[in-house]
Structure 1
Amino acid sequence: MLLLLVPVLAVIFVLGGTRAQSVTQLDGQVTVSEEAPVLLKCNYSSSVTVYPFWYVQYPNQGLQLLLKYLSGPTLVKGIKGFEAEIKKSESSFHLRKSSAHVSDAAEYFCAVSDTVPETAGELNTNPLRC
């Protein structure tokens, strides 16, 4: 049985103005068996409407957008079989995948923005250094 270590970092983003949003990822590191389901939790707080995102950084690569919620259905499908469901009443946007693979070993970041949907998600042109 192969185990994957998935580091999860808490990230706070202030985007699109002076309103502050905070993001909390409760899990520091998640260990997952290959082909087991993955759940990475993300809770946020904000006094305004926000648009949540998940980013991934694979080893020796830059930060990549994994998925984002702008509007519409609450379940968002991303790349490589990842999906997240926004629950506005709980201020959560948990990331999940039904079956983990070795290639999923990476750092995962949850973020929120209060920018308009047309520009949301285009904030990272440089990799985030940890």
Structure 2
Amino acid sequence: MTFMFIAALGVLLFLRGTGAQSVTQPDAHITVPEESPLELRCNYSYGATPYLYWYVQYPNQGLKLLLRYFSGDTVVQGIKGFKAEFSKTSFHLKKPSAHWSDSAKYFCAASDTVSGTDRRAAHKPPEML
């Protein structure tokens, strides 16, 4: 059985609104068997509904936007079979069948604004140290 290593690294983007604001990913690293369900947890705390993002970084590559949430549906479809489920405190990333090619670093991020007036714009998290 082949196992893959997934790194889930939280990114905190400061939110400008009032109240407690944070983004956490409780699982720093997970290992799952190939073709098993994958879930990466992301919890956030914010007084209003923020803009939520999942980014992926494959080995030797830059960050890539996987999916984003602005408002509306509670399930957001992303690329490569990923989806995220939105609630008032969480934005968990899921995939029904993980594959070796999914081995990467995953980043959850939140913001209270979108750059400019275009709701399709996406924030890129700051470079990780």
Tell me the TM-score normalised to structure 2 length.
0.87
1:24 aligns with 2:24: yes
User: 1:9 offset after TM fit, Å?
Assistant: 1.1
Matching residue of 1:78: 78
Work out the CA distance in 2 between the residues paired with 1:31 and 1:121: 32
- Secondary structure of the residue that 2:101 maps to in structure 1? helix
What is the identity, as a one-letter code, of the residue corresponding to 1:72?
A: G
What is the identity, as a one-letter code, of the residue corresponding to 1:4?
A: M
What is the identity, as a one-letter code, of the residue corresponding to 1:101?
A: H
Work out the CA distance in 2 between the residues paired with 1:94 and 1:105: 17
Work out the CA distance in 2 between the residues paired with 1:8 and 1:107: 6
**Given that residues 21 and 45 in structure 1 are in contact (C-alpha distance below 8 angstroms), is that contact kept between their aligned partners in structure 2?**
yes
Work out the CA distance in 2 between the residues paired with 1:99 and 1:45: 29
Corresponding pairs, count? 126
Structure 1 residues 44 and 7 mapped into 2: Cα distance closer, same or farther (>3 Å)?
Answer: same
Work out the CA distance in 1 between the residues paired with 2:52 and 2:106: 13
User: Any idea what the Cα deviations from partners look like across 1:4-36, whole Å, max 9, x if unmatched?
Assistant: 010111221115x46573101000101010000
Work out the CA distance in 1 between the residues paired with 2:73 and 2:17: 28
1:99 aligns with 2:88: no
User: 1:48 offset after TM fit, Å?
Assistant: 2.9
1:108 aligns with 2:106: yes
- Secondary structure of the residue that 1:103 maps to in structure 2? helix
Work out the CA distance in 1 between the residues paired with 2:41 and 2:2: 22
Work out the CA distance in 2 between the residues paired with 1:7 and 1:123: 21
Tell me the TM-score normalised to structure 1 length.
0.87
**Given that residues 10 and 109 in structure 2 are in contact (C-alpha distance below 8 angstroms), is that contact kept between their aligned partners in structure 1?**
no
**Given that residues 17 and 112 in structure 2 are in contact (C-alpha distance below 8 angstroms), is that contact kept between their aligned partners in structure 1?**
no
Work out the CA distance in 1 between the residues paired with 2:21 and 2:67: 19
Indicate the larger mover: 78-87 or 20-29: 20-29
- Secondary structure of the residue that 1:54 maps to in structure 2? strand
Q: CA RMSD in A?
A: 2.1
**Given that residues 38 and 99 in structure 1 are in contact (C-alpha distance below 8 angstroms), is that contact kept between their aligned partners in structure 2?**
yes
User: Any idea what the Cα deviations from partners look like across 1:92-124, whole Å, max 9, x if unmatched?
Assistant: 000000000110000000011101483465222
